[in-house]
Amino acid sequence: MSPEVLANIFQFHLLFKLFFLVVVLFYFVLTVVIYRQVTLLSQTLNSSISPLIRQIAFVQIVVVGVFFFLGLVLV
C-alpha cells in the first residue's frame, strides 16, 4: 500500500470519527431535551410510574454521555 493511499485512509478515518462524534453530541443534547420534557410532563400528569420514567430518561443521558467517550476510543 502506497503512502498516498494510507494518508487518504487516515484522512477518511479522521473525518468519519469527527462526524460520528458530532452525531453522538447531538444525540446527547436530544436526550437532555427528552429528560427536561419528561420532567415537565410528569408535573402535568403525575402518576406512580412518573419517577420510573424520569429515571429511564436520566439513565439514557448517562449512557449516551459514556458512549461519547467510548466513541473517542473505539472509532
* Contact map string, positions 30 to 49, toward another protein, x by CB under 8 A: xx-xx--xx-xx-xxxxxxx
Collapse the DSSP code of 43 into the 3-class scheme (helix H, G, I; strand E, B; otherwise coil) and give the result. helix
Contact, 46 vs 54, CB < 8 A?
Answer: no
Q: Which of 15, 22, 62, 70 binds another protein (CB under 8 A)?
A: 70
Q: CA-CA distance, 5 to 65, in Å (whole number)?
A: 34
Residues in the chain: 75
Residue numbers at the binding site for another protein (CB under 8 A)? 9, 13, 16, 20, 23-24, 27, 30-31, 33-34, 37-38, 40-41, 43-49, 53, 56-57, 60, 63-64, 67, 70-71, 73-75
